[in-house]
Amino acid sequence: YLMNGNKKFLAMAVLCAVASVGFVLPAAAEETMTHDLDEVIVEADKDALPGGYVKTKGNVGILGTKDVMDVPYTQMNFTKQNIEDFGGPNQALDNVLVNMPSVRQTGTMLHGDFSVRGKSTNGSFFYLNGVPGMLGQFMVPAFAAESIEITAGPNKAISGSFPAGEGTGVAAVVNMTTAKAPDVPVTRYRQIFSGKSGFGEALDVGRRFGKNNEWGIRVNAEFMNGNPTHYKSDKNSQSFFANIDHQDDKSKTNFLIGYQYYEVEDGMRWFGLDAASIKAGKLTHLPSAPNSKNNYSFPGMDKVHEGTIMVLNHEQKLNDSWKVFFNGGWTHSNLKKNITGLSSKLTITNDDGTYAGRYFTRRTPSHKYYGQIGVNGEFKTGTVKHNLVLAADKSWSKSWTGVVGGTGLTNFTGLGGNIFTGVDPNESVTIPDFENYHSSSARFWGVSLMDTMELGKSQLLLGIHKHNATSTSYSDPSKGAVKATSVKSDATCPAFGFVYQPDKNIALYASHSEFFDSGERVSENKDNNNLYYENKGDIMSPSKAKSNEIGVKYENKGFLATLAFFQNKEANNITVYNNDFTKKWYTQDGENEYKGIELSVNGRLNDKWNIMGGLMYLDATRTRTEKGTYDGYSVAGIPKWTGVATLQYNPDKDWSIIGRAVYVGSTPIFPASNDIKWTVPSYVTYDLGVKYKTKFNSTPVTLSAMCYNITGKDYWIAYGSGLHLSSPRTLMLSATFDI
């Protein structure tokens, strides 16, 4: 249900009362409680490292579930506990994913973006139970997840075809596995309070039944309402997921169905830098970051998304060595309302912090379908053991764009203010009626063949993926005759991997992988300077991304470390202007090359201390540009150094104290042209939390408090050549009841 004002007050009072239990309860009251939790059954992951945040096993695309020591790539598998402790209604999902050092936060409540090894991506490119394209940019139902697995680097051979989405999505293979019913029944209720007035509640129920518990159902529901932050915003969401599974000696089946509704009013945090003002000398430097509690939202700003998802996985044994499998998915997604600043941002035009903007209003429905069928078998040739996977898949996608009143995509009412004082309170927007036109469609099909060969202490992975795609872009009919631009493309993407384990604790590995991009559609939207791309509606030339990696992994006594050296390459898509900034084009020019070193450590330090985190150095430069004009230039929005360090202290079995520091080094941006380089300052943020397990009467309760950005630091987050403003200090409280 959704809480009204009285219910909010009552819920807050109950939550505060519950949160105080075990913290400030007098001795007399404590006699009604027990701290002996030996009989409490806790749902735990047997593959989780000490601390409970990272698993040693996870999904690796069509290769299935593998131990991290057998994977020739950098991989991190986040547990449900990690998602619950670091996620929340006031945090984008990247607040969980940043616990992997190659991930950098670039998201907000409005945009679920993040980057992996310098390449931007978002929830649109997640896999859901191994099926791609079912989720959205800011619609990832992490509350229903059992784990999130990240395999760094582009890899078509293990990921298969992909329904089209925003951007190219070649950063990594990111899979979300939904929770199944455990062997022990679970009935869990969680209530959350955060920010100014953000209330949330979640229900998690799981049961197994049948003669041998072969059937299972896990139901997760989440409701959010209010302002979960300390800047102006309001969040309202209702989500429901049911996971039904069946398993016996010969087959495994999993069916997921879900519905999501998500609305955020206000919440503007994204800024651009006006190229024309820089050219004219009005904007000469990057203004310092303003107070992150400031309001930059205009009356009427609203983003509403609704979607339905179904995913089916089936595996059937043919005999002791061979099995066939099917993975399929269907989603209807509708960004029903998107009333925000043009390009989702405001544009700074002056050194004193003046900004301007234009309203942007549209909606974006989309339909996506995916099907994959394959066979997996084990056999030997001499002394070599083979694990062979052959899979074919096909995906379809179709998208529409809402037109404002049938006359264009933009409401040209001006929007202005100052970053240091906030939005002009007199600004407002008239919300028009929406009409839709078909904007794009795509069809993809592919075949993957993978063979993992094992001989003694060595494993050799050989794979290949053949891919064909057809991408079609349609013009806005309100601007004249409908124009269709269609591009057909195909590519062959090989994958190689080698793992050598001299003993059970050490694995040396090397790999090569590739990803095929079917071509990005050039936006038809004007920018805040009233400019279209001169090549609007075109589809960029398809291109490949390639990755090479070598590394070493060490696992012993609950501790796991990975050291990786990597090199990724991809086509460089950039915006270029004419001399007086009156025209612009979106074009490909050369390659972006990402070279780096990544170190991650996870697990036990000693009996009471656990660690999670690491460090990454990344050199991202442009190469092979036309006539070498921009060779050696930095890629915008990518710092050379990033790092994360989390310490968990468990003084006893009931208490857990969590501290985390996230570091992002100084970051180059190119706000006007490739010849003008500015630097976004480095920053460090700190989070601090505490959890306490107890009983209220006979009911096990986990009380949790987490403070994000505990020092209240204000800072800019570089995103390409744009900026996000940081979120202020925010407290989240929760109480979880195992009924």
Task: Give the domain extent around 505.
Answer: 34-162+184-725
Bridge partners of 236, per DSSP, are 225, 263
| Same domain assignment for residues 16 and 70 | no
pLDDT at residue 165 above 80? no
* Run of H or E including 469: strand 458-474
| Same domain assignment for residues 104 and 226 | yes
Length of the chain equals: 739
| Same domain assignment for residues 659 and 604 | yes
Please indicate whether residue 109 or residue 499 has the higher confidence score (pLDDT). 499
Contact 14, 7 (CB under 8 A): no
The whole-number pLDDT of residue 356 equals 86
| Same domain assignment for residues 220 and 80 | yes
Contact 517, 493 (CB under 8 A): no
The whole-number pLDDT of residue 6 equals 40
Looking at the domain assignment, is residue 415 inside a domain? Answer: yes
| Same domain assignment for residues 22 and 149 | no
Contact 526, 567 (CB under 8 A): no
CATH number of the domain that residue 567 is part of: 2.40.170.20
End-to-end CA distance of the chain: 20
Q: Going by C-beta distance under 8 Å and a sequence separation of 6 or more, which residues neighbour residue 302?
A: 263, 264, 265, 337, 339, 431
Bridge partners of 531, per DSSP, are none
| Same domain assignment for residues 123 and 189 | yes
Looking at the domain assignment, is residue 168 inside a domain? Answer: no
pLDDT at residue 42 above 50? no
Looking at the domain assignment, is residue 194 inside a domain? Answer: yes
Strands 54-55 and 699-708: unpaired
The average confidence (pLDDT) of the chain is 85
Round to whole Å and give the CA distance between 139 and 122: 10
| Same domain assignment for residues 446 and 505 | yes
Looking at the domain assignment, is residue 522 inside a domain? Answer: yes
Count of structural domains, the chain: 2
Rounded average pLDDT over 421-450:
75
Looking at the domain assignment, is residue 174 inside a domain? Answer: no
Rounded average pLDDT over 32-58:
66
Looking at the domain assignment, is residue 178 inside a domain? Answer: no
3-state secondary structure of 18: helix
| pLDDT tens sequence across 520-550 | 777 766 676 667 788 877 777 777 788 999 9
User: Residue 456: exposed, middle, or buried by beta-carbon count in 10 A (0-12, 13-18, 19+)?
Assistant: exposed
| Same domain assignment for residues 9 and 107 | no
Round to whole Å and give the CA distance between 296 and 268: 6
Looking at the domain assignment, is residue 309 inside a domain? Answer: yes
Phi, psi of 472 (to 5 degrees): -125, 135
Model confidence band, residue 153 (pLDDT cutoffs 50, 70, 90)? confident
Model confidence band, residue 106 (pLDDT cutoffs 50, 70, 90)? confident
Looking at the domain assignment, is residue 678 inside a domain? Answer: yes
Task: Enumerate helices (H) and strands (E) in the chain, giving the number of each.
Answer: 6, 41
